């Protein structure tokens, strides 16, 4: 995938939206040359979608989670944002754990939709702050973990960086929050990814937040 600075428009696939909603979203994209949207249907979605991002209309949480899991296994590089009516924090976390990189409510303003797409395209997660805070609680067990109980070789500073990373903060924001150099933050994140066995910061964040992964106990 080209980086966020590419001059090529970001290609967004629209899945499961009603025609009227498609028209509204397409109208939003029409005002921005940096985006290009097109509808996509099954089964083509699960094979070689020519999109950088996927915007999915939520119909049912379990079914959408199943779809996201299939996409994650078949197209791990494809970043998906789910859009729908109000959900509980647990439901949003379930969608993200299944593979979504973002969540938007139907009532989101056009600028918020565009901002979410840009954030996810750059590699971060877009979700309500309270949901991201829940990620931290799950990652750290809701309380400090005594050094002797940790099974992973994570330093206190690495744990500090991870707590910020799970909040979907950029390297610059983490550096400012922890009074570190940005390059130092990059080094910490790279080292933690090697320890956990993942190849990107999103996977590291999700592994930290997922109780079932076993990674939580390693913090």
pLDDT tens digits, one per residue of 145-158:
333 333 456 788 98
pLDDT above 60: residue 4: no
Q: In what order do the strands lie in the sheet with 35-39?
A: 35-39, 10-15, 53-57, 79-84, 100-105
pLDDT above 70: residue 3: no
Question: Above pLDDT 90, what percent of the chain?
Answer: 26
> Mapping DSSP to helix (H, G, I), strand (E, B) and coil, where does residue 80 land?
strand
Which two tokens mark 70?
A: 């299939």
Q: How far apart are CA 185 and CA 91, in angstroms?
A: 31
pLDDT above 80: residue 11: yes
Domains, the chain, ranges and CATH? 10-125 (3.40.50.2300), 134-218 (1.10.10.10)
Q: How far apart are CA 164 and CA 87, in angstroms?
A: 24
How many residues are given for the chain?
Answer: 219
pLDDT above 70: residue 85: yes
pLDDT tens digits, one per residue of 30-71:
878 888 888 888 766 766 667 889 999 998 888 888 888 888
pLDDT above 80: residue 138: no
**pLDDT of res. 57:** 94
Q: What is the mean pLDDT of residues 62-86?
A: 87
**pLDDT of res. 48:** 60
List the end-to-end C-alpha distance of the chain, in Å, as a whole number.
Answer: 32
Q: What are the two backbone dihedrals, phi and then psi, of residue 84, each rounded to the nearest 5 degrees?
A: -175, -165
Residue 80: strand pairing partners: 54, 100
Q: What is the mean pLDDT of residues 64-79?
A: 84
Q: What is the mean pLDDT of residues 82-89?
A: 92
How many other C-beta atoms can be found within 10 angstroms of the C-beta atom of residue 162?
23
pTM for the model stands at 0.62
Residue 84: strand pairing partners: 105
pLDDT tens digits, one per residue of 195-209:
887 777 766 776 665
Helices (H) and strands (E) in the chain, counts: 9, 5
Q: What is the mean pLDDT of residues 3-22?
A: 80
CA 47 to chain centre: 21
């Amino acid at each position: 995938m080209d980086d966020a600075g590419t001059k090529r428009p970001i290609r967004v696939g629209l899945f499961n939206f009603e025609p009227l909603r498609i028209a509204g979203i397409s109208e939003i994209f029409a005002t921005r040359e940096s985006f290009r949207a097109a509808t996509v249907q099954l089964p083509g979605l699960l094979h070689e979608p020519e999109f950088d991002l996927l915007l999915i209309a939520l119909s049912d949480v379990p079914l959408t989670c199943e779809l996201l899991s299939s996409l994650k296994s078949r197209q791990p590089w494809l970043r998906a944002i789910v859009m729908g009516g109000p959900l509980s924090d647990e439901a949003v976390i379930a969608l993200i754990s299944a593979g979504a990189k973002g969540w938007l409510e139907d009532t989101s303003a056009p600028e918020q939709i565009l901002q979410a797409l840009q954030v996810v395209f750059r590699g971060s997660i877009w979700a309500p702050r309270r949901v991201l805070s829940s990620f931290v609680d799950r990652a750290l067990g809701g309380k400090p973990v005594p050094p002797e109980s940790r099974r992973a070789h994570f330093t206190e500073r690495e744990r500090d960086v991870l707590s910020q990373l799970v909040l979907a903060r950029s390297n610059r924001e983490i550096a400012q929050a922890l009074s570190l150099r940005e390059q130092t933050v990059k080094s910490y994140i790279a080292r933690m990814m090697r320890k956990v066995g993942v190849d990107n910061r999103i996977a590291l964040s999700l592994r930290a937040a997922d109780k079932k992964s076993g990674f939580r106990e390693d913090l």
